A and B are shown apart, each in its own frame.
Chain A
Amino acid sequence: MKSIRLERVSKSYDGELILDNLNLEIPTGQFFALLGPSGCGKTTILRLLAGLEHVDSGKIYLGDQDITNVPIHKRKINTVFQQYALFPHLSVFENVAYSLRIKRMSDDLIKAKVSELLKMVRLSGFESKMPRSLSGGQQQRVALARALISEPEVLLLDEPLAALDLKLKEEMLLELSQLQDKLKMTFVYVTHDQFEALTVSERMAIMNVQGDIEQLGTPKAIYEFPVSRFVANFVGNTNFIEGKLQISSGKYSVEVDGLGLFSVYTPVEKLWMIPGCRLYVSVRPEKIFISKSPKEGFSNHMAGKVIDIIYYGRSTQYRVKLRNGLYVLVFEQNEEHFPQENIDYDDEVHLYFQKENVVLLEH
C-alpha cells in the first residue's frame, strides 16, 4: 500500500481559483476523511486524485511515483461515485467484473473474483440482476465491489452515502469501516457531513471555503481540540465567549465583559497567547452543566434565563440568555426518566463548566 501526496497543487475552474498551492499527505492504509462545506474544493481534490481533472500546477505522488500526468485509466486508483454510475445495460456481475474484463482476465478467474467480492459486500446471488432493480443501498454496494475488485492502491469515495436514509447510512458507515479494516487499503472519503466523517475515519482533514486545509488529525483531536473558530464551529456545535487573556503565576484566566473572570486551561501554549490579547473561549454545549440550584466544585459559573428548549430524545438542548446578553447552548443527556430537576422556559439557571474543558482560539 502506498501513501498519496499532493504537492503544491493549484486548480482553477471557470476562472475561479479553487485550490491554491495545496499540500496534503494522506497516510497509507488508513480511512481518511476530507470534510468541508459545499464548494470548498474537496470534490476537486478527489477528481484530481482519480485523474478526472488535471492540475494547473503542482504534482501528485502515489508512493514514490509521480502520477500527475498519468491518464485516468492507467492509475491504480478507483472511485465510488456519488451517484454510483453503475452501467445500466450490464448486469451486476458484469458491472463488478468490468475492470477485469478490460484486463482480459480469464473467465474462470473473473467468476471466482466476482463471487468473492459480492460475498464481501453481502450481495451473493445478485449476479444476474440489473442495476435498475436494485435499491440505493444495494447499488452502492455493487459500486463498491466494482471499484475494489482490481485491488487498487487507493479507493476514493465521493459522498457515497448522500442518497441514503439515516438508518441505512449508519449501517453502511459501519460496513465501510469494517471493510477498510479488513483490506487495510487507503480509503479517501469526501463528505460535507461531519457525522459521517467523525464516525468512520481514522484521520481527517477539514477544509474551509477558500480551499485551504484548516486542520489535519484524528477525529477526536479535531473535535476536542479544534485549532480555529471555523473548525470548532463546523464540527459539532460550540459556544464562543469573547474575552481578554490574563496570565498570573502560570494560571490562565479570561476576563469577559459583564460576566467576570473565567478560569481556563490550555494544553499547548501558543505564540499568540500573550497577556492582554483578545481571544475566544470555546466551550462545547455538552461540557456545560445546567442546574436550577447552585452547585459546588466547578471552576466556572454563569447565570442566565432559559429561552429555548429543544428535545432531541437522547438529549435536550437549552438556549440560555446570560446576564450580559450572550446566548449559550447547553446539551444535557436525558439520563433519567424522572429527573430530579425539571428545567422549563424562563427558568433562572446556573451554568457550570470546568477550566480543562475549554479551547482557547485566536481572535
Chain B
Amino acid sequence: MKMLTRLITDELPFFLACPALLWQVVFLYIPFFVLAIYSICDYSAVTGTYFLTGSYYSDIIHSLCFKIILRSFFVAILIAAICFIIAYPVAYYLAVKSGRRYKTLLLFTLILPSWTNLIVQTYAWFFLLGKNGMISVLLQRIGLISPSFHLLNNYFSIIVGMVSCYLPFMILPIYAVLEKMDKQYLEASADLGADRFETFRRIVFPLSLPGVYAGLLLVFIPSFGEFAIPSLLGGSKYAFWGSVIVDKFLKSRDWRSGAALAFIGVMFPIMVMGLTYVLLRGKKIVQRYRQSHHDGLNGNGSAKEFWG
C-alpha cells in the first residue's frame, strides 16, 4: 500500500494525465482501429476465417453511395458559403460598430440559439414551414406561393434549418478575431491614405482570415455529417452521408460497409480543410517570393475562390 502511494506521488503528473489520455485511446483511437479492421475484413462462411478485402471500399466508390457523399459534400459547402455571407457582416457589426451596451446584449442573444437543443431548433422550422405552418400560410395568403407548393420536405427546408443552426458558429469566431484586432493597424492604414473600404480590403479582411477558417471548421465539417436535420426537415426523402451511415449501422446492420463509408466520407471534409489551411498559408509563401503586382493583398480574391 505504501509503495503504491509512493508510486502515485512520484509519478503524479502521469497519473493525473492518464485518465484523459486513456479515455481518448479507449473511446476514440481504438474504435477507429476497430472500424478500420471492420472495413477491410470479411468473414467467409466457407473457410470459416477472416480475410482482408477492399471490396467494401470499392463497392461504395462505384455505387450510389458515392453520389450521396458528394451530395452531402456540396450541401455542406453551400451551407458554409451562405453562413459566411451572412455571418461576416454580422460579426463586423458586432465587433466594430455596436456600442458597448448593445454589444453584450447582442452577444447574449446570439449565443442563446446556439445553446438550444438542435432538435428543438429544427422542430421550430418544421413547425413554421409545414403545410399549415405560419410561413406557408402567410405566403399563401399574400399570394406568393400556391397551395400545392411545399416549403417543407425539400432542399429548401434542409438548408434553412442547417443555416439557422450553424450561423452562430460562423459568427462567433469571426467576431472574436475582429474584436481583438489592434486598432492601431486601422489607424496606420488611414494615416497612410487608405479610406475605410481600402483598409477593410487590405488590412481587416486578411487579418480576419484565421477567424473565418475557424468558422468554416465549425460549420463545414458538422454539416457534412449532419443527420438529424435532413431527416426531420427533408422528410427522409434525400439520403445524406449521415443518414446512410445510420441506416447501415442501426437498420441493416451492415457494419463493414458502414465503416468503409465512414472512412471514405470523413476524408472529404478533412482534405478540404487541410487544403484550405495550406492555401491560406501558401498565399503568404507565394507573396514572399514574388513581388506581387496585384494590389497589395489577395485577401478578397482567395476567399471567394474557395466557396464560389
Contact residue among B182, B191, B195 (Cβ-Cβ distance under 8 Å from A79): B191
Please determine whether A81 and B193 come into contact, CB atoms closer than 8 angstroms: no
A91 at the binding interface (Cβ < 8 Å): yes
Q: Report B195 CB to chain A, min CB distance, Å.
A: 5
Does chain B have a CB within 8 A of A101? yes
Contact B288 A85 (CB under 8 A): no
Any B CB within 8 A of the CB of A130: yes
A-B contact pairs, 12 of them (CB 8 A): A51-B190, A52-B187, A52-B191, A73-B191, A77-B191, A78-B192, A87-B203, A90-B296, A90-B297, A91-B288, A99-B192, A102-B194
Please determine whether A107 and B187 come into contact, CB atoms closer than 8 angstroms.
no
Inside 8 A of A127's CB, which chain B residues have their CB? Answer: 291
B203:A73 contact, CB within 8 angstroms: no
User: What interface size band does chain B fall in?
Assistant: 20 to 34
A102 touches B198 (CB 8 A): yes
Shortest A125–chain B CB gap in Å is: 13
Taking residues whose C-beta sits less than 8 angstroms from the other chain, chain A's interface range is 35 or more
In Å, the complex CA distance between A341 and B99 comes to 70
Once bound together, how far apart are the Cα atoms of A147 and B288, in whole Å?
Answer: 22
Of A50, A73, A147, which one neighbours B194 at CB under 8 angstroms?
Answer: A73
For the A-B complex with A91-B287, A101-B295, A102-B192 known, give 20 more contacts whose Cβ atoms are closer than 8 Å: A71-B195, A72-B187, A73-B193, A73-B194, A73-B195, A74-B193, A79-B188, A81-B187, A85-B184, A87-B185, A87-B189, A89-B284, A89-B297, A91-B288, A98-B296, A99-B194, A101-B296, A111-B291, A127-B291, A150-B192
Enumerate chain B residues within 8 angstroms of A97, measured Cβ to Cβ.
Answer: 296
Whether B184 pairs with A98 at a CB distance below 8 angstroms is no
Complex CA–CA separation, A104 to B293 (angstroms)? 11
Q: Quick one: closest A residue to B206, CB to CB?
A: A89
Chain B's interface: helix, strand, loop or mixed, by majority?
Answer: helix
Judge whether B228 is part of the interface by a CB distance below 8 angstroms.
no
User: Which residues on A are within 8 Å of B, measured CB to CB?
Assistant: 50-52, 71-74, 77-79, 81, 83, 85, 87-91, 93-94, 97-99, 101-104, 107, 111, 127-128, 130, 146-147, 150
Cα of A98 to Cα of B185 in the assembled complex, Å: 12
Contact A130/B288 with A85-B182, A98-B192 known, Cβ cut-off 8 Å: yes
Which of B190, B287, B288 contacts A73 (CB under 8 A)? B190
- Contact bitstring B222-247, A, C-beta under 8 A = 1, else 0: 00000000000000000000000000
Give chain A residues whose Cβ lies under 8 Å from the Cβ of B206. Answer: 89
